[in-house]
Amino acid sequence: MPRTASPAAGCWPACSASMAAAPAAWAVASDILWCLGLGCLLGAARDLLDFVPGGGAVRCFLWDIAVFAAAAVLVCGFAAGVSSSGVARWYMAAGTLGGALAWYGALRGGLHRAARLAGKALRWPFWAAWRALGRLCKRCAAALRSCRHKKVAKTAKNQKKQLQSLPKIVYNEPYVAVCAEKAQERGHPVP
């Protein structure tokens, strides 16, 4: 049994000089709140990884392993840098897990709905302008069609019909007969 400065430590085997002192309750609560925040950030990061193209069970498994490793690094880094005790404790890991579960259980749905509404609000002016532009184009096309229709109707109405006069038709008949005789002389069949 190691020697300590405390006479009671020698008689109780659970205490020794190498054990770290238990932190105060306020320090534990502070550490848990910090780890809850870190867990929420991890949950948000994992949620953002769903936007990466590709899919399948293998990709999901790899993202989960990466988030698990990031959680271990965050807890150890938090314990070394910010924690009042300076060592990683079980309640830090539990707080990080609780924060990630809180993200998925409570925060994710509301934030996704808010993001969808914000996206709709930002897209609405462009959609309205596109719709107004479409209506304007339809009106212009209809006006052009009606203008063309009127123009064609006007020219058809004003156009004089030019038929051949009867003497001209009779005059051409002998010419056709002469052409048919010449074709027969050359040996071409004439209908």
pLDDT for position 9: 47
Q: Is residue 179 part of a domain?
A: no
CA distance between the termini of the chain? 134
Q: Is residue 86 part of a domain?
A: yes
pLDDT for position 169: 55
Q: Is residue 37 part of a domain?
A: yes
Q: Is residue 60 part of a domain?
A: yes
Separation CA 43–CA 79 (nearest Å): 20
Q: Is residue 144 part of a domain?
A: no
Exposure string of 160-190, with b = 16+ CB inside 10 Å and e = fewer, is: eeeeeeeeeeeeeeeeeeeeeeeeeeeeeee
pLDDT for position 155: 66
Q: Is residue 49 part of a domain?
A: yes
Q: Is residue 104 part of a domain?
A: yes
Instruction: Count the domains in the chain.
Output: 1
Per-residue pLDDT tens digits for 24-74: 888 888 888 888 888 888 888 888 887 777 777 888 888 888 888 888 888
Residues 6+ apart with CB under 8 A from 161: none
Could you tell me the residue range of the domain that residue 85 belongs to? 25-124
Q: Is residue 41 part of a domain?
A: yes
Separation CA 16–CA 8 (nearest Å): 10
Half-sphere exposure of 126 (CA within 13 A, CB side): 5
SS3 189: coil
Cα dihedral value 52, 54, 55, 58, nearest 10: -90
Per-residue pLDDT tens digits for 106-137: 888 888 888 889 988 999 999 989 998 989 89
